Structure 1
Amino acid sequence: MNRQTQIVKALQTWIEANLHHTLSVNDVAEKSGYSIWHIQRLFRQVTHKGVGEYIRERRLINAATALLTSNASVLSVALQYGYESQHAFTRSFRNYFSQPPGSWRRSGCCTATPLFSVIDPSSG
């Protein structure tokens, strides 16, 4: 594993531990000690995703899991994962999973996009 991959894996671990907070690219860059430009480039080179895209995907995946494993309302899940409204959450959820959160919950699984725990830099 090269140094770049090690840095990105460390940042992924930090992001995962802090998904329940408001996170920005600035926060990730500050944590890394690199400039925003450099960390974006490095992160994309290793994961094939931008930092913001990675954070949004991880929040959506965690929210999808919460919908399947809890009885919390869709609005509660949306707010828990940083969305300001159920409408914004539903729009993002539908764009990613090709179905609204309520349908996802009723189906009990996803046929379009598999869930995964962390985007692995070594698989890209």
Structure 2
Amino acid sequence: MDTMPLPHYHGEEPSHTKVIRALLDNTDTFTSLADIFRQLGDASRIRIFWLLCHCEECVVNIAAMLNMSSPAVSHHLRTLRDSGLLMTRRDGKEVYYHAADTAQARLLHEMIEQVMDVACPQWRSEAQQVQLIRQIHDYLLTHMEQRITIEELTHLYPINPTTLKEVFKDVYGTSIAAHLKKHRMEKAAQLLRETDLPVAEVARQVGYESQSKFTAAFKEQYGQLPKEYRRP
């Protein structure tokens, strides 16, 4: 069925306008979005959601951190979980809550932190941001055998992905991935010089499950294969 023309005709209707009109007709999507935003229409609920974007906690601890009663916290948690913004994990009799790893939850998390930065410019000073980035940097270097994602870092530390990447580059002059790769190769070179560990084990200790990918990365930085580098 053809789409009805717009009341004010300004020439041939552009193709992108037709696409927009088609998306507008998808009212279910907008209803779902409205429901999600409605869940965050309460300040306490926003605080709980933001907290659980950065850690996993039980009702009792959440209540203590926010100075709220456990029944009040449970009510908000149920609402957030029903909206798909929270996930749960049971350990014995205890239930732990954390933010869902979904596009909607990530978007809302970043939006909340962006608004906090705009509305409260002193919420985190430049010096505090740099200090936090240095903590994240140290954490990454002490866990080089793991492949830690940006999303995982934002759950561990109170910072949004955009700020994390921007401030890290300002402090260290390069991206997180490039900086870590350099340190991984330096540690690998040290292990090759000072130990008799097999190359596969060296690769694993610096975060490479694939020995071939490790070998390629090592040669790119040092111009030699790991076995050639180790050779006396």
TM (norm. structure 1) is 0.74
After TM superposition, give the deviation of residue 77 of structure 1 in Å.
Answer: 1.1
* Per-residue deviation, residues 51-87 of structure 1 (Å, max 9, x unmatched): 1222222222111111111101112211232222221
- Matched-pair contact (CA < 8 Å) for 1:25–1:51: no
Q: Does 1:46 align with 2:179?
A: no
Which residue among 63, 69, 74 is the counterpart of 2:199? 74
* Alignment gaps of 5+ in structure 1: 108-124
Which residue among 161, 182, 185 is the counterpart of 1:36? 161
Q: Residues of 1 paired with 2:183 and 2:156: CA distance?
A: 18
Deviates more, 1:13-22 or 1:69-78: 13-22
* Alignment gaps of 5+ in structure 2: 1-125
Deviates more, 1:46-55 or 1:4-13: 4-13
AA matched with 2:219: R
How has the CA–CA distance of structure 1 residues 14 and 4 changed in structure 2, closer, same or farther, with 3 Å as cutoff?
A: same
Q: How many residue pairs were aligned? A: 107
* Per-residue deviation, residues 78-113 of structure 1 (Å, max 9, x unmatched): 123222222111100011122211121125xxxxxx
AA matched with 1:4: Q
* Per-residue deviation, residues 12-32 of structure 1 (Å, max 9, x unmatched): 121122222231222223333
Answer 1 or 2: which has greater strand percent.
2
**Bigger relative contact order, structure 1 or 2, given CA contacts below 8 A and separation 6+?**
1
> Percent identity among equivalent residues?
22
Larger radius of gyration: 2
Instruction: Please give the root-mean-square deviation of Cα atoms over the aligned residues, in Å.
Output: 1.9
- Matched-pair contact (CA < 8 Å) for 2:145–2:208: no
Aligned to 1:2: 127
Q: Residues of 1 paired with 2:184 and 2:127: CA distance?
A: 27
| 3-state DSSP of counterpart to 1:2 | helix
AA matched with 1:22: R
TM (norm. structure 2) is 0.42
